[in-house]
Amino acid sequence: MGRPTDLPPSYEESVASDPPAASRPFPPPAFPAPPTDNTTAPIPGSRTYQSVRSDTRESDTVTLAPALSQDASALHTLIARQAEIPPRPYLTVRGSHTETRHDHNRKEDRKETVEDFSFKIDLSGYLVRDEHASQQQGDDYDTGVQLAPDSQDGWHVLTLVRDNDGQKAYRGGRWKSDTWAGHEQRQRLQAVHLEDGPHTETAGLVQEHEDGPSLMGWCERFCDDPAPVKSFAFGRSVVGFDSDVLHSALTSHLRSLHYKGDISITTNLANRDLVVYSPHWVNQLRNNGFVYWCCIILQLWIIAWPVIFFLERRYDVARSVWYFSRVEGGDTQYACHRNEASIADELAPAVTQAALERRLDGKMLTPQEMELLHRLGRERQQRGVVVMQWDRFLGWGSDS
């Protein structure tokens, strides 16, 4: 059977007729390199967060270093340094389809999910601007003054929960509230002191400020909390970024390959949360991988989780916010000078080429791999060859 005349030329024919590389109008972009050791601050006693969700295990870090729950200065130093480290967003691209296969042993049909491609792309250089914090910013951490969105060029701010600010947050209690849990203890102590006499002094209480506690104040509250089971959480987030625009555009590019399977594109942070636990044996066991999965498999979490809930005192009051975009004078400014649609157009050649090559390891693509995939993808687009394999011309990745 002869080759149809209305199909695109073969890959070999297209390569042979390609113009020389020097005449091509598109130089490959300089893809950002992954973070190195000098861009991160060490976390004493760090370990992986135990969770049934793989994205949580990849993004969250915990530590049970005793000094961090006993020495407010040590905790303050750790959080202040972590607040200067930008988040590391990454894109996960997956494609799969369902196949029905006959099981001869059971004499029945069963469906299996077949993965067609799976890979990750580092978005750090596209979403956040990595700037070294100045000494003035460090002074703001000490005083607890919340940075305004226009300070430090407006791309990075440390936000702190304030007393009676109307926000629901974990302030040293079991439930979210807008008041520090220690206020109730202080009120009870003051009532007892009034009965004993007006000259009785209260010891071990954090001094209040009109605008609420600073970062150091919250660290003191946490370390002075007598609860044996307690935790202090610090998180990062990227604001002003519409991931749906990026996901929708890349999905359209993948559909242009005549791919008919299920496409899943998600955006996550590799260093989203850090949780400091007190070194109590309950916290030791809950962060032990063997114990954790035994509780999951044997259904012991039905008992363990409620016990931990009533024992733990949670602090979730500090967050490092990084702006992807901001509005100035009615115009939207972008931290890395690209909007979501521009990022999608720049990533499209590499993403589509990686899908065609069936990248299945699920790993982060290196800058060298991104440059090669981008070049091959742009060459394929110039030739107008969408599918380079005959079995994919009428569509691939369909359920069967």
- pLDDT reported for residue 57: 86
DSSP-assigned states of every residue in 200-253: PPP-SPPPP-TT---HHHHHHHHHH---SSEEEEEEEEEES--HHHHHHHHHHH
State what percent of residues in the chain have pLDDT above 90: 52
- pLDDT over threshold 70, residue 35: no
- pLDDT over threshold 90, residue 293: yes
Residue 138: inside a domain: yes
| Cβ count within 10 A of residue 118 | 19
User: What is the pairing mode between strands 262-269 and 60-63?
Assistant: unpaired
Q: CA-to-CA distance for 155 and 162, rounded, in angstroms?
A: 22
User: What is the pairing mode between strands 273-277 and 325-328?
Assistant: unpaired
By three-state DSSP, how is residue 24 classified?
A: coil
| Cβ count within 10 A of residue 27 | 9
Cβ contact 233:315 at 8 Å: yes
- pLDDT reported for residue 371: 94
- pLDDT reported for residue 210: 52
Residue 257: inside a domain: yes
Q: What is the mean pLDDT of residues 61-90?
A: 95
- What is the count of structural domains for the chain? 1
- pLDDT reported for residue 186: 53
- pLDDT over threshold 70, residue 10: no
- pLDDT reported for residue 108: 74
Q: Higher-confidence residue: 291 or 395?
A: 291
- pLDDT reported for residue 33: 55
Closest CA to 380 of 1, 11, 6, 83: 11
pLDDT band for position 139 (50/70/90)? very low
Residue 72: inside a domain: yes
pLDDT band for position 219 (50/70/90)? very high
Closest CA to 382 of 6, 14, 5: 14
Tokens 């069963």 identify what position?
110
- pLDDT over threshold 50, residue 142: no
Q: CA-to-CA distance for 331 and 229, rounded, in angstroms?
A: 48
In 3-state terms the chain splits into helix, strand, coil percentages (rounded to 5) of 40, 25, 40
Q: What is the mean pLDDT of residues 196-215?
A: 50
How many CA atoms lie within 13 Å of 393's alpha carbon, on the beta-carbon side?
A: 12
- pLDDT reported for residue 130: 75
pLDDT band for position 146 (50/70/90)? very low
Cα 268 to chain centroid, rounded: 4
Q: What is the mean pLDDT of residues 181-188?
A: 58
Residue 3: inside a domain: no
pLDDT band for position 132 (50/70/90)? low
Task: Kindly provide the b/e burial profile for residues 232-251, where b requires at least 16 CB atoms within 10 angstroms of the residue's own CB.
Answer: bbbbbebebbebeebbebbb
Closest CA to 344 of 252, 271, 255, 272: 252
How far is CA 9 from each of CA 14, 23, 349, rounded to the nearest angstrom? Answer: 6, 21, 20
Phi-psi region of 162 (alpha: psi -120 to 50; beta: other; left: phi over 0): beta
- pLDDT over threshold 80, residue 38: no
Q: CA-to-CA distance for 6 and 371, rounded, in angstroms?
A: 32
Each residue of 323-340: pLDDT tens digit?
Answer: 999 988 889 999 999 999
Residue 42: inside a domain: no
- pLDDT over threshold 90, residue 199: no
Closest CA to 117 of 263, 260, 266, 257: 263
Residue 158: inside a domain: yes
Residue 67: exposed, middle, or buried by beta-carbon count in 10 A (0-12, 13-18, 19+)? middle
Residues spanned by the domain of 20? 11-31+50-392
State what percent of residues in the chain have pLDDT above 70: 72
- pLDDT over threshold 90, residue 313: yes
Residue 263: inside a domain: yes
pLDDT band for position 244 (50/70/90)? very high
pLDDT band for position 400 (50/70/90)? low
Report the mean per-residue pLDDT for the chain. Answer: 79
Phi-psi region of 241 (alpha: psi -120 to 50; beta: other; left: phi over 0): beta
- pLDDT reported for residue 148: 38
Residue 41: inside a domain: no
Q: What is the mean pLDDT of residues 296-322?
A: 93
Least trusted range by pLDDT, from 98-112, 170-184, 269-283, 369-383: 98-112
By three-state DSSP, how is residue 301 classified?
A: helix
